[in-house]
Amino acid sequence: MASKASVLGNQDGYVLLNNDVDLPSPPRLSRLPGSRWCRSAVIVALTCLLIGTTLWILDDVESFLAKVAIPSFINIFASTNTLDSSFSVASSSVSSSTPNSTVIAAAFHPETFDTSADALSDLMKHLESVVSDRLKKATDHMKNLTEDKDSLLLSHAILQGGLGNFMFMVASTWGVAKMNRRKMVLLAPYKMEGNFVHLGIDHVTPANFLGSDSSSSSDEYNFEEISAMKYTPKMENVTAVKGLRNVILAGYMQSWKYFDHCRNDIRMLFTFSKTIFETSLAKIREGLEDYYTHLSIDKADRIFSDQKTRPTLIAIHVRRGDIASDDGQMRFGHKPATKEYLLRTSSLLSQKYSPAIFLVISNDVPYCRDLFKGPNFVVMDNNKEPAAVDMAIISLADHIILSVGTFGWWAAYLSDAKEVYYYKDWPKKGSDMEKQISREDYFYPSWIPLEQSS
């Protein structure tokens, strides 16, 4: 059936279409005030209208007006220096007061494309669905989780550090406990537990945990890793090393090998709370609203040409802060990811996925605003929310670009990202830090290393 649509007229740079009136014939152009039509303009305009009539019959007139006719008129008028501040495409048989009209932003108002609002709504619904699914899965999983009934306990002497460090220590202890059929407990409450909806790990006082070992040397019940970023195989059999007693693990234990055998447990334990997710979604919406507002006509045309395709979300985590300014950190071997690496990786993914939107998360927002200049980059403001909010944002992305650090590591591990890239040139070669890391123990096997240059 032919589409029912007609052009009502022009208002403040907008083209007004009515969806309830049949177009009996191609609309005619009203003369622009104070301008003269040149012959070439008339020929091109009539050709566009002829094509438009054909597309109207094929039920695609709105697409034609937005993508072909209007840009063509703009180019013609601009080239002859007769373009006024607005233009109109009108039908003599239609009044602008006709009800149920649809306003399509055109020419000078890309920020008000109806399709941009639709696209943002569709993208947010997708993310909300992902969050809802994660919360439900976590609840169902924890209800069905069976604890080992053995009486022996395993805990960790949680060290001071950020969220990523805390998560490594908890996850590794959980994994080692499963290997040894022990029950994991915590010896104190930790504020970071509140970031997660189901981190329901029991707490036991140190005195009750140690029991008769309270007077023993800590060497009797402490089991320390060999290195912060190397796997300690002996932890696979704690009892063989420490005997039939409760044991406290020690160290940062930053290796996926400690817990990947129970990855589903870990992902469910570290499912963010509803509050964290809601704050993350609100922050994403704010950033995307700003992005869609500043779209150019060409960019909008490309993004909304296929309403069935939502933009690909790519998260970039840029850690700088202390590792870019602290002499001690840099001497030890820390180094921030270079501009070349970040730009090369984002360029690679922008060519691979189109349309794409990059969400940039960093503890150095001014640096990122200066670095990422393209229209597809949304640098998220640091509004002093809990660190888990930014980690949750990264975890919702389709693909992830990491710089350095455990924060981004965990965001990627908790995500469903199809591709995760990390900075291959970290840490500094020959540094003390490099001696303490096993790359195959630290970096997840499916992640892709990339150097700062090819």
Mean pLDDT, rounded, for 54-79: 40
Q: For the residues of 78-100, what is the DSSP string, one character each?
A: HHTT---S---EE-TT--TT-SS
Mean pLDDT, rounded, for 127-140: 95
Mean pLDDT, rounded, for 243-261: 96
Q: For the residues of 289-348, what is the DSSP string, one character each?
A: HHHHHT--HHHHHHHTT-TT-PPEEEEEEE--THHHH-HHHHHHT--PPPHHHHHHHHHH
What pLDDT score was predicted for residue 103? 27
| Per-residue pLDDT tens over the stretch 102-121 | 222 222 233 333 467 778 88
Confidence of residue 422 (pLDDT cuts 50, 70, 90): very high
What percentage of the chain exceeds 90 in pLDDT?
54
Is 162 in a helix, a strand, or coil? coil
Q: Which two tokens stand for residue 170?
A: 């908890």
Mean pLDDT, rounded, for 414-424: 97
Mean pLDDT, rounded, for 119-142: 93
Residue 209: name the closest of 222, 198, 199, 200 by CA.
222
pLDDT at 269 over 90: yes
What pLDDT score was predicted for residue 402? 98
What pLDDT score was predicted for residue 58? 44
Confidence of residue 409 (pLDDT cuts 50, 70, 90): very high
Mean pLDDT, rounded, for 154-163: 94
What pLDDT score was predicted for residue 329? 81
Name the average pLDDT for the chain. Answer: 78
Of the ranges 46-50, 314-318, 446-450, which one carries the lowest mean pLDDT score? 46-50
| Per-residue pLDDT tens over the stretch 306-359 | 445 788 999 999 999 877 777 888 888 889 999 999 999 999 999 999 889 999
pLDDT at 247 over 60: yes
Of the ranges 41-50, 234-243, 368-377, 433-442, which one carries the lowest mean pLDDT score? 41-50
What pLDDT score was predicted for residue 12? 42
Residue type at position 258: Y
pLDDT at 413 over 90: yes
What percentage of the chain exceeds 70 in pLDDT?
70
Mean pLDDT, rounded, for 373-380: 91
Residue with tokens 């696979």: 236
Contacts of 29 (CB under 8 A, 6+ apart): 45, 89, 90
Residue 269 · residue 199 · CB < 8 Å? yes
Contacts of 265 (CB under 8 A, 6+ apart): 141, 145, 174, 178, 259
Neighbouring CB atoms inside 10 A of 211's CB total 12
Mean pLDDT, rounded, for 205-231: 88
Q: How far apart are CA 368 and CA 339, in angstroms?
A: 10
What pLDDT score was predicted for residue 45? 59
What pLDDT score was predicted for residue 52? 55
Confidence of residue 151 (pLDDT cuts 50, 70, 90): confident
Q: Which residue has the higher pLDDT, 281 or 13?
A: 281
Q: How far apart are CA 403 and CA 335, in angstroms?
A: 10
Mean pLDDT, rounded, for 182-206: 93
What pLDDT score was predicted for residue 200? 80
- Max mean pLDDT range (22-26, 244-248, 371-375, 450-454): 244-248
Mean pLDDT, rounded, for 244-269: 96
What pLDDT score was predicted for residue 115? 62
Confidence of residue 295 (pLDDT cuts 50, 70, 90): low
